[in-house]
Amino acid sequence: MAQPTLDAFQVIADPSRRQMLMLLSKDSLTINSLAENFDMSRPAVSKHIKILYSAGFIAIQDIGRERHCTLKQDGFNALHEWLNYFDQFWASKLKNLENLLNNKLPN
Amino acid sequence: MAARIKHQLFFRHPPSAVWEYLTNAELMELWLMKSDFQPVAGHEFTFRIGPKPSLDFDGIVYCKVLEIVPYEKLSYSWKLGPGDGTINVDSVVRWELQPKDNGTELLLDHGDFVVMKNLALFNGMQTGWLKNMQKIAENLDAKNHGTTNA
C-alpha cells in the first residue's frame, strides 16, 4: 500500500504516533502488544507503524513469529537538518553584513 | 540536545553603527531580508526567507521582539511552520554586541529550539534508543539460547 511520505514533523504531529514512540522509548514492543494500547483497528495501527517505519523513527525486526518494533535514530536527523539549515542561513547572511560593513563602508 | 547555532563576527565599527544594521528595517533588508521589524519589545513581525519544502517550511518566519537593550542586545522569537497555521519550530534568536578594539564583537546565538513542544520526548527517545537495542539483543540471545537448549 502506498503511503504518503511524511517528514519528521508530520510524523510526530499525530498524537497516536507520538504515544507509540513514547511507549517504544520505554521498551521495544511487538506490533500486537503495541496495538493493545490503542483503541483503534489493527489496520489503523499498522498504518501508523508503517509511517513511523518509513520516516526512520522505528525499526521492525522479526523475532520468531513476532514483529518487534524498536526506536531508531534516523528520525531525529531531521532536527539536525533544521539546525544545519539555519546555521548556513546565518552564515551567509552574516557574510553579507560583513561585506557591507567592513568592506564597503568607511571606518 | 545541544541545539544551538552560534556565530561571532568582528566589525571595525562602533556598536552603535552595527546596531543600526540589526534594528533598522531598511538597513536589515540590505543584508538579511525584508521585514516589518520595529525596535520595540513585544513588536511582532515576519521574515520571508523562501520556502523549503524538504523541511516542510513555507518560508515565513514569525518573530516577536523579546528583549531590546540599545547597542547591547536584541532577541526575538523565531517560529515557523508548514503554512497551515501550525508552528513546527519554535526558537529564539539572540544578538549581543560587545565593544572591542575600537570595533564591535557581534555574537549570534540561535537556540532554545522547541520542536513541536516535544523536545523532552526526543531526549527520552534518544536515551531509550540504546536501551532498546540492548533489549533486542537480549531477546535474540534468549531465543538463540533456547534453541541451543532445545
Which residues, including other chains, have CB under 8 Å from residue B87's CB and lie 6 or more apart? B62, B79, B80, B81
Q: Does A59 share its domain with A84?
A: no
Q: Does A103 touch chain B (CB under 8 A)?
A: no
Q: What is the ipTM of this complex?
A: 0.73
| Closest among B112, B115, B81, B120 to B6, alpha carbons compared | B112
**Domain count across chain A:** 2
Residue B7 with chain A: CB contacts under 8 Å: 90-91, 94
Q: Give the right CATH number for B5-116 from 3.40.50.10490, 1.20.120.450, 3.40.710.10, 3.30.530.20.
A: 3.30.530.20
CA A56 – CA A71 distance, rounded (Å): 9
Q: With CB atoms and an 8 Å threshold, state whether B56 touches A10.
A: yes
The label of the residue with cell 541451543 reads B148
Q: Does A96 share its domain with A49?
A: no
3-state secondary structure of A30: strand
pLDDT tens digits, B68-92: 999 999 999 999 887 887 787 888 9
pTM of the model: 0.61
Give the nearest partner residue to A94 out of B9, B124, B132, using CB atoms: B9
Question: For each of chain A's 107 residues, which pLDDT tens digit applies?
Answer: 455 567 666 777 788 888 898 888 778 899 999 999 999 999 999 999 999 888 878 889 888 888 999 887 655 666 677 778 888 999 999 999 999 998 765 65
In a domain, A2, yes or no: no
